[in-house]
């Protein structure tokens, strides 16, 4: 996710790659990403922090606090932006020290193609300028909203994990086309574009999805026949349940 966010921000011109330093526990990963975007791979997390005003923390939630506690004494006052699911701002602030500012972000992988959906919440010491900086980066790679931290677990379940749900929907639609005789490549193209186009209709028109659905659904027609099958299969309840399950898992990951 960190790689997707960086690549998207660099590609959109929101970040100058020459200003970016990277470190990963596996050197080949940071070196490969640095070469790809034109950034600089360095030998330690401490070196990243010393050379930066803002630091993007991309460690797994269960490893984040241990990683922070291994850092050398942190110089000055820095902005730390965490994308770790579930990990609370208060825990990050305690581990980093009161000098530093924290913003917690939940992005998603479509940021890589400029179609991300992100939300962020600011910590106690984070300034309006910090929030503006983070918002600018995220807006360069998609849509961004600021929310209260208590809502970020719901964001994680919806937009953070949501691309995986939609990939499954696209795959299933394409398989349906194959079942009915379409070549696999053409079926996948039609399925993916249908999902993309339907989403764009919601965003551009501002209309409720139910209203747009009704425009496609004529009495006794093909669409209502398909919708009847969807309702029989409880797709709506399954997707609602998926968001809830992922949000609850985010809460569990935040317990330290």
Local structure of 58: helix, strand or coil = coil
Give the separation between CA 178 and CA 165, rounded to whole angstroms.
20
What residues does 120 pair with on adjacent strands?
A: 105, 146
Give the separation between CA 149 and CA 123, rounded to whole angstroms.
9
State the pLDDT at residue 256: 61
What residues does 55 pair with on adjacent strands?
A: 80
Give the separation between CA 215 and CA 211, rounded to whole angstroms.
7
State the pLDDT at residue 76: 75
Which DSSP category does 74 fall into?
Answer: P
Give the separation between CA 71 and CA 16, rounded to whole angstroms.
26
Give the separation between CA 153 and CA 16, rounded to whole angstroms.
31
State the pLDDT at residue 69: 85
What residues does 68 pair with on adjacent strands?
A: none
Backbone angles phi, psi at 120, to 5 degrees: -145, 160
pLDDT tens across the length of the chain (256 residues): 888 888 888 888 888 999 999 999 899 999 999 999 999 999 998 899 888 889 999 888 888 998 888 887 776 788 999 998 889 999 999 988 878 899 999 999 898 888 999 999 999 999 999 999 999 889 988 999 999 999 999 999 999 999 999 999 999 999 999 999 999 999 999 999 999 999 999 999 999 999 999 999 999 999 999 999 999 999 999 999 999 999 999 998 887 6
Give the separation between CA 123 and CA 235, rounded to whole angstroms.
37
Which H or E run contains 57?
strand 54-57
State the pLDDT at residue 3: 87
Query: Structural domains in the chain?
Result: 2-149 (3.40.50.720), 162-253 (1.10.3730.10)
State the pLDDT at residue 46: 87
Which H or E run contains 177?
helix 162-179
Give the separation between CA 109 and CA 216, rounded to whole angstroms.
30
Give the separation between CA 126 and CA 149, rounded to whole angstroms.
13
State the pLDDT at residue 222: 96
State the pLDDT at residue 11: 84
Q: What does DSSP say about strands 79-82 and 54-57: parallel, antiparallel, or unpaired?
A: parallel
- Minimal CA–CA distance to 117: which of 203, 20, 237, 7? 203
State the pLDDT at residue 134: 93
């Amino acid at each position: 996710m960190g790689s997707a966010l960086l690549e998207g921000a660099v590609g959109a011109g929101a970040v100058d790659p020459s200003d970016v330093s990277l470190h990963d526990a596996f050197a080949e990963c940071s070196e490969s990403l640095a070469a790809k975007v034109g950034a600089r791979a360095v030998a330690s997390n401490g070196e990243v922090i010393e050379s930066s005003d803002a630091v993007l923390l991309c460690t797994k939630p269960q490893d984040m606090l241990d990683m922070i506690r291994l850092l050398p004494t942190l110089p000055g006052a820095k902005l730390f932006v965490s994308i770790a699911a579930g990990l609370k701002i208060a825990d990050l602030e305690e581990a980093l020290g009161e000098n530093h500012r924290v913003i917690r972000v939940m992005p998603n992988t479509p940021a890589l193609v400029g179609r991300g959906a992100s939300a962020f919440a600011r910590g106690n010491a984070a300034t309006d300028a910090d929030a503006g900086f983070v918002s600018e980066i995220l807006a360069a790679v998609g849509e961004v909203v600021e929310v209260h931290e208590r809502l970020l677990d719901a964001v994680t379940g919806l937009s953070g994990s949501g691309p995986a749900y939609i990939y499954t929907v696209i795959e299933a639609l394409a398989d349906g086309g194959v079942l009915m005789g379409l070549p696999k490549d053409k079926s996948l193209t039609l399925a993916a574009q249908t999902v993309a186009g339907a989403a764009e209709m919601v965003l551009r028109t501002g209309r409720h999805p139910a209203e747009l659905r009704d425009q496609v659904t004529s009495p006794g027609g093909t669409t209502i026949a398909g919708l009847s099958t969807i309702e029989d299969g409880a797709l709506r309840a399954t997707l609602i349940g998926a968001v809830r399950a992922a949000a609850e898992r985010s809460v569990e990951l935040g317990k330290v």
